[in-house]
Amino acid sequence: MLNYPNSYYAATLNEQNSYPLLQGAKDFETCVVGGGYAGLMTALGLIERGHTSVAIVEQNKVGWGASGRNGGFVFGGYSLGPEQLVAQVGLERARLLYGLTLDAVDLIRNRVKTYEIQCDLVDQGVILANWFKKQAPLLQLQAFMRDSMGVEWEYLSPSALRQLVNTERYTGGLFEPNAMHFHPLNYARGIASAIKNKGGEIYEGSPAINIEMEGSVKTVSCSNGEIRCKNLVIAGGGYLSHIASPLRRSVLPIATYVMATEPLGDKLEQSINTKAAIYDTRFAFDYYRPLNDSRILWGGRVSANTNSPGDLRNLLYQDMLKVFPEMTNVKIDFHWQGFMSYARHQMAQIGQLYPNVWYGIGFGGHGVAPTTLAGEVLAEAITGASEKVKAFETWGLPWNGGVFGPPAAQVSYWWYQLRDWLKEKLDS
């Protein structure tokens, strides 16, 4: 079992307790493979519906992957943008699907309160800051979200945004009030505690090495034990292994990078005079937020290369200086990377692989709310409460390109970076 990678989140965990290894043969009604958000939310969703015979097997520790390393943004939507969503499935269905993510934001808010999870939740919105000069695209997006998604985003003029984010880099923005940010690893651990307290079981350091998916009884074999179950949920995300090849072949593990500064004290408010989290309008955008201890947590860049850049700290530091040049002498205390799972269609993948074998993967880039809705959709499907899972059948499990997938994804990313660069140069 691997400990949490060095990060600001790992250094500020509320508690360090571990869950036991799976040992021997055990029977549960449902087994969830993967202790990240998708798996945790499915287990809790089942338990909250009275289905308490649930076990999670996790190869490392709860929230070890993307769920415990992400930027901590909590807001509506998928990696596939809402305009593209409408183009693919029509306005009515797109609005329904987007609405599920808004319900998930509310559910996260309520669970933090209900289970008294100490995760530094800051319920003060998110700002989309305009990297470019033209204001028309902001106003068009604002109108689209209002008219098509039923969501009110507040337009921030260049001067209004400057009062909140003191930089020459941006020109106006949009404020999304029904959004939050939090400590993602403490949230994951808090959800795990709720699962355990309500009768579920969690086994850490227990990688699934073989899964028998066919037949009425499914078997999940780990190093020192096995679980027999009626229902199986696979939720490994960017860390899926060979055990679920149809799922592994449908996603790409894409790396993203995060850092945290030293505590800035009063200097923080000179640059960021808001509690909201911030990201910008480029495809290859920066995302960052002020932390309660006066640090800036800063993330950005993606790569299909699974090796961490040798100069990662400096790359992110230089990105921050482009926005806040006054941070020249600020020390960087933490930097880290993690893998997200992306599908070619950029949509969350939620569905059924075999009878009573379910999956929730492909949440990269916009995962906190969609993983929560995945847990609800799968819990309702397993308990027969609804068939919302069918709303995700359109996208399926397309091949990720095999060995050609990562270089193709990297070329696509470079193309979007070039497009952002050209747009910036031609902007007026």
Q: Identify whether residues 338 and 265 lie together within a single domain.
A: yes
Residue 148 has pLDDT above 80, yes or no: yes
The whole-number pLDDT of residue 238 equals 65
Highest mean pLDDT among 179-193, 273-287, 396-410: 179-193
CB 13 within 8 Å of CB 62: no
Q: Among residues 49, 36, 13, which one has the least CA distance to residue 384? A: 49
CB 370 within 8 Å of CB 41: no
Residue 333 has pLDDT above 80, yes or no: yes
| Measured CA angle at 101 (ends 119, 94), to 5 deg | 165
Q: Identify whether residues 229 and 271 lie together within a single domain.
A: no
pLDDT tens, residue by residue, 412-427: 666 666 777 677 767 7
Residue 250 has pLDDT above 90, yes or no: no
The whole-number pLDDT of residue 221 equals 94
Q: Identify whether residues 208 and 157 lie together within a single domain.
A: no
Residue 366, domain CATH: 3.50.50.60
pTM score of the predicted model: 0.94
Contacts for 299 with CB less than 8 Å, ≥ 6 apart: 70, 71, 256, 257, 258, 259, 286, 287, 288, 316
List 203's β-bridge partners, or say none: 57
Q: Identify whether residues 235 and 306 lie together within a single domain.
A: no
List 164's β-bridge partners, or say none: none
Average pLDDT over residues 242-264: 84
Q: Identify whether residues 306 and 219 lie together within a single domain.
A: no
Q: Identify whether residues 160 and 279 lie together within a single domain.
A: yes
| Structural domain contains residue 308 | yes
| Structural domain contains residue 261 | yes
Q: Identify whether residues 316 and 261 lie together within a single domain.
A: yes
- Three-state DSSP at 167 gives coil
Average pLDDT over residues 149-165: 97
Average pLDDT over residues 253-280: 94
pLDDT tens, residue by residue, 379-404: 999 999 888 999 999 998 876 766 65
Q: Identify whether residues 258 and 172 lie together within a single domain.
A: yes
Give me the number of domains the chain comprises. Answer: 2
What's the chain's average pLDDT?
A: 91
Average pLDDT over residues 119-133: 96
Least confident among 143-147, 242-246, 274-278, 369-373: 242-246
Q: Identify whether residues 169 and 275 lie together within a single domain.
A: yes
Q: Identify whether residues 426 and 329 lie together within a single domain.
A: yes
Least confident among 139-148, 173-182, 300-309, 328-337: 300-309
Q: Identify whether residues 150 and 297 lie together within a single domain.
A: yes
The whole-number pLDDT of residue 184 equals 97
Provide the domain limits for residue 419: 126-177+253-342+411-428
Q: Identify whether residues 261 and 304 lie together within a single domain.
A: yes
| Structural domain contains residue 293 | yes
| Structural domain contains residue 76 | no
DSSP H helices, 324-404, are 368-383
| Structural domain contains residue 30 | yes
pLDDT tens, residue by residue, 198-236: 999 999 999 999 999 888 999 999 988 999 999 999 998
How far is Cα 403 from Cα 128, in angstroms, rounded to an integer? 35
Residue 140, domain CATH: 3.30.9.10
pLDDT tens, residue by residue, 48-87: 999 999 999 999 999 999 899 999 999 999 999 999 999 9
| Structural domain contains residue 2 | no
List 165's β-bridge partners, or say none: 272
